[in-house]
Amino acid sequence: MKAVSNITKEYDVPTLVSLNPIMVDGTGMCGGCRVSVGGETKFACVDGPEFDGHQVDFDELTLRLNAYLEDEKNCHEEYCTIRDAQ
């Protein structure tokens, strides 16, 4: 989405992106879905998930999403171990 938004910005093409960050509670209280859009903090579960792609801070979003990679991997491995043991 970042690459497409960068290209469409060059040609002044309005671009709507749909974000799918971690959403824990769906109310914005946990902050897991926090994203910077146009210099303001937004919550994808409440304010989105669609935003102006030219305003989204994709670098920050990528860093936030990568923060959970190890936990996601561990949970997946544990799930597979439990499933295979049954």
pLDDT, tens only, 12-37: 999 999 998 777 788 888 888 899 99
Q: How far apart are CA 37 and CA 40, in angstroms?
A: 5
Q: Alpha helices, DSSP H only, in 1-86? A: 2-10, 44-47, 58-66, 69-85
Range of the domain at 43: 2-85
Which range (19-33, 44-58, 66-80) has the least confidence?
A: 19-33
Q: How many domains does the chain have?
A: 1
Closest to 44 in 3D by CA, of 65, 23, 63, 64: 23
The model carries a pTM of: 0.80
- C-alpha distance from residue 64 to each of 37, 43, 77 (Å): 14, 13, 22
